[in-house]
Every structure is written in structure tokens, then in C-alpha cells.
Amino acid sequence: MTNFNELIALEYENEYESAYDLSVKRNFSNPKIYSASGDLTKRWYVYFSFRDPKSGKLKRLTPFYGNANKYKTKEDRMSVLVTYRKVLLRLLKQGYNPYTDNTELHQRLTSKNNDASGQVPTNKENKKTGRDDDGPKMTVREAFDFGLARKEKILSPTTKRGYENKIKNFLKWLEENRPELTDITELNKQVVTSFLNDVVDRTSARNRNNFRTDLSSITQVLVDNDILKENFIKKIPTLKTVPERNKTYSQETQEKIFGYLEITDPILLLYIKFVSYGFLRPIEVCRLKVKDIKLESKTVEFKAKNSPMKTKIIPEILWNDLPDLEKLDKEAVLFTPEKIGGTWETEIGNRRDYFSKRFKKVVKDHFDLGTDYGLYSFRHTYITKVYRALSKKFSPFDAKSRLMLITGHSSMTALEKYLRDIDAELPEDYSTMLESEHG
């Protein structure tokens, strides 16, 4: 029986599109690349499933490694595996079957390679076989996989997931709206603009701008690696957006919400109190583990927005509401759907989204709150309370300096902008200035 590796080798040498277009029943899954989450100490490979003739079900077969793991950089391994994947898919479409003798296919490929040796195809032949003078082409998917592999070294896990999600959405849109566009060099400003227009029609200008930024970033990697000649996405303008803003709650509304949650959802209430009294952002609360609450010093350690790790005191008003944490697993997630301190195997973004949806269902829908009221509103509400209390005792500068220690803002400028945005800083009554001279 012909060795599968020999078939791969034959097609690898002639990577371009086959002149044969065989119609075969699809008894296999599309080959996929396993990249070990970027870990170069592990083996990367291409894998696929084929329909077992006995059971009639798709069965995972032995992965194909080839020479990919000889390469020591992520981009080199990905480039080789992308080619292997294309070759493997082509072989499957041409009739390769791991459960039968593939001698006929082997002979056909050998004959094709022998016929092509020593010949330089004309431009007309180039178009037929899918090759050109610039060498092998990359599909849009392969190019974006390559770009992300090059970029992932400098991305946080959360940012990487954001890139992956946007690329996935873009590729899906291409499949549905521009299925004839496969080669990365066929991608242009007009196509991307059409996609971005669709995004803004379905969602918002802000989301559209985020897609533009991330797609442009990956495209620039392709330009830097001579896969594309220019980053045409840079020429697509950003759209003006209205900044999203969460309003502060009135004293009456806040007290009603807390009273309601004491009875209906104590876990959500404690979650909100970390935002309200601890001035943490919702995603920062979602990152907390039991071990991050330091019982001796009454402090909490957490990963903040713009720093690797920060420490804040836990005020008495919040400390008194905490359950007994001493007997809990220190590695447990502090906030889970069912209890304080447990296992929750999901990404941080999913945890944040879960509590946002829970808040909408339990609180917003019940109190009929508008779209400009959310979890962030509690942070704004209580920072406003503290600032106005400090302003009664201290000068504006001293009040803000003390507030910075509480909120954790990195600079006075950032804090002042934040206070302006939430309307925490209001002037004194200026009625006397409006009176006429002779009034």
C-alpha cells in the first residue's frame, strides 16, 4: 500500500491547485491545525477525521507532523502547517482514502509531476493551475492565521481572543457575501469597507471602529512580511462615536436595589458592593480568587486596567458583608453563579458577561432602568459620594489627592477627566452672578 507520507511529499512539491477536479463524496472533515496554544515545546500538527467504512462514523486519524516541528518560531511552523493543510485537503478531494490502496492516486500524481518537470507554464497555464510568477498564494484565512501567529507574542490572552473573534466574524462574512474571494491578494479596501458598513448597520459605530483597528493591525503584519503590498485599511476613516456613559443612581434608587437584592440575589448584591464600596471595575471583580482577599491586612489584590497588580484596602462597610473565607479553597474563584468561592471553568470575559446579563435580568428589568444604567453606574455613584464628602472638608486639590488613593487613578489628570465625565464636580450656586447690577 502506498505510504501516505509519500503522497504528501509529492503534493507538497507541487503545492498549487490540481488540474484535476474530481467529484467525490465528502467522507472527511476539513483538516485543522493544532498549534498547542503557541507552545513551541509541544508538537504541532495537522489532523482530520475520515468516515470509518465499518461504523459509518467520522473517526479521528493519526495526525500528520511532517517537518513542522523542526522549525523554532511560531510563524515558521504555522507557515509549514498551513501548506500541509492545503495539500492534505487537496489529496482528500482527489480521492485519498486511508482505508484503501491509494496506488492509482500515487501514480497519477507521479505522472503529473513528471509531465510538469522542466516546463515553464505560460501565463494562460498559470491561470489554469492557480500559480503565478510570484510563487504560491495564501488564502485569506491562511494569511490572517499567519498574521495572528506573528502578533500573538505581544498580545494578552484577552486581546488575542478579541482578535480571534473579529477575524472569525470577518471570514464568516466573506464566506457568505464574497465566496469567490479566496486569495489574500484579492482583498481590497472596497471589500473591507463593505464588511465594516455591515458591522455598523448591525451593531454600532464604536464596534465598527474596533473591527477596523484590529483588521488593520493584522494587515500591517502581512505588509511587513511582504504578503501584501499596502495596508489599505489605514485609508478607511474612523467614524465619530458618542461615548457610552453610565449615569449615577439616585439615593432612592440605589437603596431600593440593595434592599431588593438582599432578598432575591445576595451573591449579585455582594458583587455590586465590590464595585460600589471597593471601586473595582466589574471585570476586576470577576478576576478575584479567594486568595486575593488578604484577611490579615483587610486588603484586596487584583489586576487593574492599566497595571499588572494593585492593592486596595477593603473598607469596613464591605468587610462586614464578607462571608467566612478562611475555610475556602484559596484558588477558588471568589464569585461564581451559585456561591462565593468555587470552581468556574470559563474565561474572564464570559464571567463578566454572565454577571452583566444577570444584573439586567434581576435588576434592570425589574426596576425598568434605561440603557444608560448599569453595573458601572454603582462605581460612578459612590465615587461621586466620596468626592462630594471630601470637598466639604478639604480644598479641591486636597480632596482629589485623597480621592486618588481610594479610586486608584494613575494621575490627577485622569481623575479630573473622570470626575467631569460623571458630573461629580459641580459648581456652587452662581445665582448672584446672574443678578443685574441694579437688582
In the chain, where are the structural domains located? 4-116, 140-235, 251-421
* Cα separation, 313 vs 386, whole angstroms: 15
Residue 21, exposed/middle/buried by CB under 10 A (0-12, 13-18, 19+)? Answer: exposed
The model's pLDDT over 126-174, given as tens digits with 9 standing for 90+, comes to 433 333 444 456 889 888 988 888 887 777 777 888 899 999 999 999 9
The model's pLDDT over 98-107, given as tens digits with 9 standing for 90+, comes to 888 887 877 7
Is residue 289's pLDDT more than 50? yes
Q: What is the CATH number of domain 251-421?
A: 1.10.443.10
Arithmetic mean of pLDDT, 73-93:
85
Q: How many CB atoms lie within 10 A of CB 74?
A: 21
- Region label for 42, one of left (φ > 0), alpha (ψ between -120 and 50) or beta (otherwise): beta
pLDDT score recorded for residue 303: 80
Residue with the larger pLDDT of the pair 277 and 139: 277
Arithmetic mean of pLDDT, 206-227:
92
Is residue 8's pLDDT more than 70? no
| CATH class for the region spanning 140-235 | mainly alpha
pLDDT > 70: percent of the chain: 85
Same fold, 140-235 and 251-421: no
